[in-house]
Structure formats: C-alpha cells, structure tokens
Structure 1
Amino acid sequence: MASTPKTGDVIADFRLPGGRLDGETFRRADYVLSAQRGRPLVLAFYPGDDTPVCTAQLCSYSDGLAELESAGATVWGISPQGLDSHEEFARGRGLRMPLLSDEGRTVAKSFGITAPLIGLRRSVFIVDGAGRLHWKHVTALGATYPPPAALAAQLSALTTA
C-alpha cells in the first residue's frame, strides 16, 4: 500500500467515473484531477453511500458547498460504490457535488487510505491549484470528519499564502 501523501507532494493524476445531480438529472462523466489545475480541489473519501456517518458528512459538504465554492474550490466525494449507487444517494439526499466511483480502490490505494473491513479510511485532502497537497485529514476508524468551515479556513489559507 502506498503511504499517505505529505503536504507539498504533487498528487498523481487520476481519472474516475462520476456523476453530479444537476436539477433532476444525474449527469455522468469522467473526472480528471489534472483538469482541475488552477483551482483548489477538496477530495472527500468516504467508505459508503447511505451509511450514517458518510451521509452526515456528505450532506454537510453539500449544505456548505456555496461556502467552499466561494473560497474557489471544487468538491468531489469519492467512494468504492458504483455510479448507480451514487445516483441513488445523491437523489435521496439532494447532494450537489460530484460523487466519483473508485470501485477498484485504485485512487484510495494511491493515497494510502485503504483499510481492511471498511474498504477505506474516511479522509479529506485539499489539493492546491498547482496539484500539490495543501492539507489532509485522515481518520483511523472513520467516525469523524472536518466540517465545511474548517475546510473553508484551509482554502482561505491557500489564497493568503
């Protein structure tokens, strides 16, 4: 397993299938990390759609999306479930950020966050516009996550750095 990237490391490019709820339509597309260059990106890895803590986390990020976007960031949720599961989750909870499918856990492995039994550790990474890791929050057991205000503060630090 790869180690978790360190602050300042360049994050390796990846492409994952995903979808985003746009009105009543769930728009599916491939999401490519390098296509986000020039803009900060919040990568929120979560173990599973429609589980209690994951639902609370993704709903809080969806509710705080305007604050994160006003800080210049894009937010992607990433988990091992397929796109049909993501679509059902997004529709059921009104989630407005893209949900990406890492079914083989390839990207999670490259971030060093896979874990036995749960699949991956709940983790949030902020990647700056140059593709470097700015900040990370990786849990041991996955019951906590940073609130949108904490992410916005980290994004604000990017613009003042």
Structure 2
Amino acid sequence: MADWIEPPGKAPAFSLKSTTGKTVKLSDFKGRPVVLYFYPKDDTPGCTKEACAFRDRLSEIEGLGAVVLGVSADSVESHQKFTEKYTLNFPLLADTEHAVAEKYGAWREKNMYGRVSMGIQRSTYLIGADGRIAKLWKKVSVDGHDADVIAALQELSAG
C-alpha cells in the first residue's frame, strides 16, 4: 500500500479509460490545474453528492483554468450509467485494477462495522499546472468539499 503523495510531490502519470470512451492521461492537461478526486463507488449516497457538487460548480472550477477528473474502481459502463443518471459534465475514469488509486495512496484498508477490506478512500488531489501536488485532502467529508477545492484553486491562481 503506497503512502499519500504529500505536496509538493510530483503527481504520478496515469492513463485510464473514461466515460467518453477515450483514454485520459494526466499529461493531456499539462499546464492546467487538475482536480483529481478518488471516490469509493458509483451511485452511492456520498459519491453521488460529491459528484453532483462538482457538476454544479464546474463552471467556477473551469473559470479558474482547472479540470475535474473522478476516479473509482468501477467499470466504464458503470461510470456511463452514473454520468447519464446525474448528467455529470466531467469525465469519470475507470481504475478497475486500482493501480492509479494505489500509486496515489488512495487504495487503503477500510474498516466497516468490524469488517476489514481494501478499497478507495475518498480523497482529492489538487495537481498544479506544474504537475506537482498543490494540495491533498485525505478522508474527504463531502459537505463543503467543493467549496474547499475552489478556495484552493483560487489560492493557486493568485499565487
């Protein structure tokens, strides 16, 4: 299990299939900030709330020059259903082998009602235009997270 990549560490390169059917690479966004958020599962209450919050504030995020990418271990088909159901306006990436989640330290041991398993811990990386980690949120609480991300993007663009 990899450790978190703390700022100002370099963001590991990745290449994953997205809801658009295209393969998305981190290098596609060179020179732009990237909001890379890891979430446990499509169409579950917390994950839906988080995705819809990013959907609703995407124009503000894009206005700050950034892109949003959601990552979970669900399949492209699952992501497409989730995207259609909630009219999500940013790509979801299928990390079915959880290799990217592992690289970023988001694949962790979870304890649910005494049952220990491995899975994605809700977390967000703000990757600066320079390809370095500008900010990391571990164990994200969904409420207000979109506002925290926008505030960090504003700091980044002001800095």
Q: What TM-score, normalized to structure 2?
A: 0.91
Secondary structure at the aligned position of 1:7 is classed as: coil
Residues 118-127 or 36-45, more deviating? 118-127
Matches within 5 A, 1:6-155: 6-19=6-19, 27-116=20-109, 117=117, 119-139=119-139, 144-145=141-142, 146-155=144-153
CA contact (8 A) 2:12 2:104 kept: no
Q: What's the Cα RMSD here?
A: 1.2
1:152 Cα deviation after fit: 1.1
Aligned residues: 151
Paired residue type of 2:146: P
The one-character-per-residue Cα deviations of 1:67-115 (angstroms, maximum 9, x if unpaired) are: 1111110000100000000000000111111000000000000111212
Q: Percent identity?
A: 33
Secondary structure at the aligned position of 1:54 is classed as: helix
Q: Which runs of 5+ in 1 are unaligned?
A: 20-26
The one-character-per-residue Cα deviations of 1:90-146 (angstroms, maximum 9, x if unpaired) are: 00111111000000000000111212336110001100011000001110xx6x135
Secondary structure at the aligned position of 1:42 is classed as: strand
